């Protein structure tokens, strides 16, 4: 499924023209770079899944505290993004 992952496409379309094509012109070399990027993206996905499974148990065990902390972080983020603090400081 990594071939339909939009992050991989955007990453590849950024890296190949910016860092690879100025130095390499061979179709074989370009294909190898695309393959390597796809493998790295797949490994990142697998890592994300493994950490998700590990944290799932922890977060389910402490569900109420997790929800409170995440809600407070969401409110804090909204305040930071809104610029209210800058208005109050004036």
pTM for the model stands at 0.56
Tell me how many domains the chain contains. Answer: 1
Tokens 């389910």 — which residue?
60
Domain limits at 44? 2-89
List of residues 6+ apart from 24 with CB closer than 8 A: 30, 33
What was the pLDDT predicted at 2?
Answer: 53
As a whole number of angstroms, the distance between CA 12 and CA 20 comes to 10
As a whole number of angstroms, the distance between CA 58 and CA 1 comes to 28
Q: What is the pLDDT along the chain (90 residues), one digit of tens a residue?
A: 555 668 777 888 888 889 888 998 899 998 998 888 888 888 888 898 899 998 898 888 999 999 999 999 999 999 999 988 888 887
Instruction: Please give the C-alpha separations between residue 88 and each of 54, 80, 84, in angstroms, as whole numbers.
Output: 41, 12, 6
């Amino acid at each position: 499924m990594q071939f339909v992952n939009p992050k991989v496409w955007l990453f590849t379309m950024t890296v190949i023209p910016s860092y690879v094509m100025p130095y390499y012109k061979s179709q074989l070399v370009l294909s190898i770079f695309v393959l390597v990027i796809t493998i790295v993206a797949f490994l990142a996905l697998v890592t994300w899944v493994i950490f998700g499974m590990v944290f799932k148990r922890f977060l389910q065990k402490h569900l109420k505290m997790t929800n409170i902390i995440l809600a407070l972080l969401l409110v804090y983020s909204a305040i930071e993004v809104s610029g209210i603090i800058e208005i109050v400081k004036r």
